[in-house]
Structures are given as structure tokens and as C-alpha cells.
Amino acid sequence: MTRRFIIKEIHQQKLKDQKAVIKGWVKSVRTAKWGAFIVVNDGSCQRDIQCVADKDIEGFEETVAKLSIGCSIALTGNLVESQGRVKAIEMQVESCELIGGVSEDYPLQKKATSLEFLREVAHLRSRTNTFGAVFRVRHALAFATHKFFNDRGFYYLNTPIITSSDAEGAGDMFRVSTLKKGESDYSKDYFGQETFLCVSGQLEGETFAQGMGAIYTFGPTFRSENSNTARHLAEFWMIEPEVAFFDLEDNAQLASDYLKYLISYAMENCLEELEFLQQMYKKDLIETLNHVKDSPFEKITYTEAVEILNNSGKKFEYQATWGSDLQTEHERFLAEEHFNKPVIVTDYPKDIKAFYMKLNEDGKTVRAMDVLVPGVGEIIGGSQREDDYEKLLSRMKEMDLKEEDYWWYLELRKFGSVPHSGFGLGFERAVMYITGMSNIRDVIAYPRYPNNAKF
């Protein structure tokens, strides 16, 4: 039996003068007097393969002549180098088998379809060039994440999805329950108490960093805020490293190394995808990525950032004032106009940051860091964590958090406490940034947002 090759193997290894079977879906078919060109893709790579079928081959009229876009087929034939200027591998078809036909209402026809329309047929969109590219890059970035941390001795940790604690102390959580309509006694619920979907795995991550040294999570997180924007999802994936004996400097270095690694890995493994996305969606994509990969990240304090904004002469919708959070317009000005590269902003006022961040000696700021990138704004948020029991407890009291809800988190500061730091990267934000896609709903398989949980 002739061996099946996937199209990626054929192109990468330039397999020629070799008999092969190709299985995939018809991207286009063009018939002529002498026979037909059938362009096939099997999802393994960006590049299709052109298959040339002479009209004399067996069963031409019954199969090839009836093919349409989207049909699944198996072709047997010889792989040869094409005659044209570009020496691509193509197939001289000897036989064609139709595996699955396509009914007339197939929504992916030759004419270009909008990204909005494709969201309505998300179960089919991975068959298009755009989404094939996006999801192969997404895969590469996920694999690069595991490789980066594994190579550096970090251990992958699965923190709980269903949780009884609120990691951010900020609300906006989805409730998880098995109670029936009308029941509301949570002591009779599945877990015997109120439970929610996690907003972060950080607090649990810290517990394991203090046993295993360096851990990272990579799992789904959830926010129930009513945000209907191109940058928010109710369900998104986050990567959260957490490292014992790490201070804010170490943390910033790790964040910068990681982002650069992601870009390098995508460039090395998905160049055809990135070139396609550049051509279709963002003319300077590869140049921008190269620039970020090769530039040292800028590092400034929040206080310096506010000064830069106020001295910029630029009119913002909101003026930057010390003590208020930076707006997206501020973040983008810093990363895009002022520095034109990623910027790490550190040492924010304590009142606009979470309770677990380490207090600086000034008593006013905390050892927080946000990484801002051109085009997206904040992509990473992190901090050195408060490792002093009394300081953490007093901060929790200031913020009306209940000590008993966080007893185990507090205990880490009683039993061999260490300086430690970590950050969170929103995975979809990173995928957007590296693919150049402008809507976050186009970089996750089945996006969840207000009034949408389809598929």
C-alpha cells in the first residue's frame, strides 16, 4: 500500500520522485481541456499542494470533474518538482477518491468571507488560510511556553479551576453550582459552600513555588465583567510563573526573556504563517516582531511614567495623575510613541494594586510591574509578593479581606517565608500581538463573551 504523507512533510523534506497518497480537503479546483488542477490542504501547514490530474486517469469524470471546494479526497500519484520558476513540489495524480462530498450550503466558498461572518461558523473556520495560520501560531506559542519553562527548570502546575477563594479580591466571578432552580442554600451545594471559577491561579501557585522553587501555570481563567470589546474574553488562558527567591528585577528579566523567546520561536517555526498574516492583516508585523525581539525592554517607574505623560505635550482624554491607574491611551503612548518598544512600568501606588504586592519602603508604592507592548498595551502584570506576615495581614485588613478566607496563604509567611515574585501573561493577548490579529475573538477556538457561549 502506498504510504500517506502529510503535506508539511512533503514540503519540508522536498519529497520528490516518490509515490505517495495525500489526504485532505479541496481548496480549489480548476478544470481545462487536458484535465484539472486540484489544490489540496490537510491542515498540517500553511502551504497547499497542487495536484495535476490528466483527464485520462481512471475515474476522472466520476470524481475529479465533480469536485468542489471543501470536498475531502484521497489522491495517489507521484511527487515531482514543478516546472515553473518556483520549484514547488506537486503531485501527478494517478487516482482520485472522493471521501466526503459537500452540500450546496457550504459557507466557505472561494470568495473572501469576513472575519465577523467566520465567527458565526467557528466550527469551520480552522479550514480557512487565516484561521489555520492563527491556530498553528497559537499552538507554537503554547509549545514554546512549555519548552521555555521546562528548559529553565520550572515545574508545570495545574491550579484549581473551581475555587472558593477570590485571588484578586475583586469580584467579577462566575458561580459554579449543582443546585436546582430556586434552591439557594449553598451549604447543600456540591462542594458544601459557595464556589466560583478562578480568576487566577497565583495564590495557589505561590504555595507550590515555596515547595518546588519555580512553577508556572497555563490554564483557563475567567472574568464575568460585562466587557464587550475586542480585547476582553470571559474565558481566557493565562500563563503564571511564580518563583521563590526572585525579586522584581529577576521577575522583569524573566518576563522579557519569555516574550522574546515566544517571538523567536514563532519566527523560526511559523514563518509562512506570519508572512501570510502580515500580507493580509498587518503590513509591518514581522518588522515589529523583530524589533521587539532585538530591543532591550525599557524600564521606568510609575512615577516616571506619569512625568513623561505630563511633559509629553500630548492631549489625552484623561490626564495622567499620580495615584490613578494608567489608561490604555497612556500605556499605548508610552509603548508606541514615546519608547516605540515594550516598556516595563514598576512601583505603582499601592491603592490601585492588589493586596498581595510587596510594599516598598516609601509606604506608598508596591513592587508591581506591568509590561506594555505597542499595539496591545498591557500584556503582562506581575509583582514581587509581600512575604512579611504582619504587613500582609495589615494590608488585607485595610482592604476588608477576611483573614479566615486566606489562612493558608498567610501561613506561607509563617513557615520559611521567602522573597518571591511572579507574573501573569494573558495568552490570547500574546497570540493577538504575535499574529497581528486585532480582535481577541479571532485567536481562541470558541470565544466566550456576554451573550455568547455558542458551540
Name which of residues 397 to 426 contact a second copy (CB under 8 A): 408-409, 411-419
Q: Shortest gap between Cβ of 245 and a second copy (angstroms)?
A: 5
Residues 1-20 that bind a second copy (CB under 8 A): 4, 6, 8-9
Instruction: Confirm if 417 and 387 have CB atoms less than 8 A apart.
Output: yes
Instruction: Confirm if 145 and 218 have CB atoms less than 8 A apart.
Output: yes
| DSSP bridge pairs for 244 | 420
Closest CA to 298 of 340, 329, 347, 342: 342
Of 39, 124, 267, 308, the one binding a second copy by CB under 8 A? 124
What backbone torsions phi and psi does residue 187 show, to the nearest 5 degrees?
A: -70, -15
Q: Annotate each residue in 68-97 with x if it binds a second copy (CB under 8 A) or - if it does not, as one string.
A: --xxx-x-----------------------
Q: Which three cell numbers stand for residue 332?
A: 499605548
Of 37, 191, 281, 339, the one binding a second copy by CB under 8 A? 191
Q: Shortest gap between Cβ of 138 and a second copy (angstroms)?
A: 8
Based on the shown chain and the rule CB under 8 A, indicate whether residue 160 belongs to the binding site for a second copy.
yes
Q: Which of these ranges, 119-127, 277-285, 297-305, 350-358, lies near a second copy under the rule CB under 8 A?
A: 119-127
Q: Which of these ranges, 171-179, 298-306, 330-338, 433-441, lies near a second copy under the rule CB under 8 A?
A: 171-179
10 Å CB burial of residue 421 (0-12, 13-18, 19+) is buried
3 state DSSP class of 16: coil
- Using the minimum distance from each CB to a second copy, give the nearer residue, 245 or 316: 245
Based on the shown chain and the rule CB under 8 A, indicate whether residue 165 belongs to the binding site for a second copy.
yes
Q: Which of these ranges, 175-183, 272-280, 285-293, 358-366, lies near a second copy under the rule CB under 8 A?
A: 175-183
**Going by C-beta distance under 8 Å and a sequence separation of 6 or more, which residues neighbour residue 64?**
29, 31, 35, 36, 38, 53, 55, 57, 93, 96
Q: Which three cell numbers stand for residue 310?
A: 505630563
Residues 193-212 that bind a second copy (CB under 8 A): 193, 195, 197, 204, 207-208, 210-212
Based on the shown chain and the rule CB under 8 A, indicate whether residue 429 belongs to the binding site for a second copy.
no
- Using the minimum distance from each CB to a second copy, give the nearer residue, 204 or 378: 204
Q: Which amino acid is at 395?
A: R
Kindly determine how many residues on this chain lie close enough to bind a second copy according to the rule CB under 8 A.
Answer: 108
Q: DSSP letters along 54-83, please?
A: ETTSBTTTTTGGG--TT-EEEEEEEEEE-S
Q: Shortest gap between Cβ of 211 and a second copy (angstroms)?
A: 3
